[in-house]
Amino acid sequence: MKARVHVMLKDGVLDPQGEAIRHALGALGFAGVNGVRQGKVIELDLAASDTAAAEAEVSQMCEKLLANMVIEKYTVEFI
């Protein structure tokens, strides 16, 4: 079973990398971009075959290592 974890900064948290990307896009002529939020995607290949157990395990992974729960949020999709 595979899981894809999307980690993004929470709303209201400054995103300097996103702002740098927005600025660079403007410099390249893409003036219609008003905001950019930058994040990360992590794909996990799991041995678990039970979806409920896999969901619980991935949530623990996110809360302990993959996401900084103070400033980031995450979503998980199974693929």
Residue pointed to by tokens 């799991």: 46
Class for the domain spanning 2-78: alpha beta
List of residues 6+ apart from 44 with CB closer than 8 A: 2, 3, 4, 5, 58, 61
pTM given for the model = 0.87
Distances (CA, A) of 60 to 11, 66, 67, 79: 22, 9, 10, 19
Distances (CA, A) of 1 to 41, 53, 57, 75: 17, 11, 12, 16
Give the pLDDT confidence of 23-70 residue by residue, as tens digits: 999 999 999 999 999 999 999 999 988 999 999 999 999 999 999 999
Tokens read off for 7: 């980690």
